Amino acid sequence: MGHSRSRGSRREGVTRVSSQGVTVVALLADPDAPTEIARRLARTLPDRLAEKAGQGRRFEVRVVSEPFTAGTEDPPTLVRRIMDRARTEDWDIVVAITDLPLHVHGRKLVVELSHEHGIALLSLPTLGALRLQTRARRAVEEAVLALAAPQTTGTDGHPRSRPLGRFVSRLAPIHPGPVDEEEAADLRYVVGGPRGYLRVLLGMVRANRPWRLVPGLSKALAAALATGAVATVNSTVWSLSQALSTPRLVIATVGSVAIMIGWLIVDAELWHRSANARPEERKRTTLYNASTVLTVGIGVIVCYVGLLAVNLVWALFILNDKVFSTTTQNPLDATDYWTLSWFVASIATVGGALGSGLESDEAIRAAAFSKREQERRDMLQDEDDQSKS
């Protein structure tokens, strides 16, 4: 059962239905990934809600793309902002969706509901990185059905909120969270523990969409490809690749990838330093920096694999068996193509790190972070600049 707080201002048995007999559900989504998810949900959500609600209930789902988290990560502030926005519309229920990780009472917020106001706030990173669309659909469905259903009376005579059933599986590190009396929310779910931390971290990396880093590093990739092309026809590189053992090639790979990751983070100033010394803020900063390292790391590894494939094709096309044998005193075979391409990919990655200096910091940040995360970092940077001035 979820933790709920009684609300005397909402009469028991009242359901949220418009005058036309249709419950209007607004999916208020932050731009970029949350809006894309909301639009996919809206295609099937009305029929699924009607089927699960029964009793001839009908639902209309509207997607509204707005940066409702701009300037704040505080859930109570966001709920008040959503309430103010909903007053100007004919919405019966509002589900606000963001790709920012939200924290409340030292815990990472998954979803919170205000039955009195018909509002739900959902943080996508806490749903993890896998099957995000399915998990988001379940969370939204459960939230809407809970808000649309009448509250039941508990043993103490006060109305109780409907808990979110299928949304909270036994395997998920999600559990009910505390709600203060002065808060607008009356039902809250949070994640905790090491598994919850890992779930949020992977969800943040997914929200950043690290594969976008590849096209965002066009100049660095051009430098890497040029370095690889030259290294492939270098006789000294041929001899070195034959002399290197597999462990040394692995070390070269790890070292070149680490250099590229470190260079990008330092050069583009992606590392966040918090001036706030509170333990909670330090944990939050650590979480953001860990997601940065993973995001950039995945992007660099994708680039590395791409360079390896291109170098292998180039080597197959350009290398001559007689010239290679004369230089290395060994015949050219399939293993030589592979080891040479592997070694050259490491060399090219270091060349790409140097070439990344040609990219603008803004371009790298845009490729490495989600739109909400970019705005959050810009806001924190502005605050730090103001505090120093």
pLDDT attached to residue 340: 92
111-125 residues labelled b (16+ CB within 10 A) or e (exposed): bbbbbbbbbbbbbbb
- Which residues make beta-bridge pairs with 64? 28
pLDDT attached to residue 8: 39
Q: How much is the pTM?
A: 0.78
pLDDT digits (tens, 9 = 90+) for 94-112: 999 998 888 888 788 999 9
Residues of the chain with pLDDT under 70: 1-20, 151-172, 274-277, 356-389
Start and end residues for every CATH 3.40.390.10 domain found in the chain:
22-149+161-192
Cα–Cα distance between 126 and 117 in angstroms, integer? Answer: 24
pLDDT attached to residue 256: 93
pLDDT attached to residue 1: 37
pLDDT digits (tens, 9 = 90+) for 327-343: 888 888 888 899 999 99
Pairing status of strand 107-114 against strand 102-104: antiparallel
Quickly name the fold that domain 22-149+161-192 has.
Collagenase (Catalytic Domain) (3.40.390)
Evaluate the CA torsion angle 131, 281, 78, 121 in order and state its sign.
positive
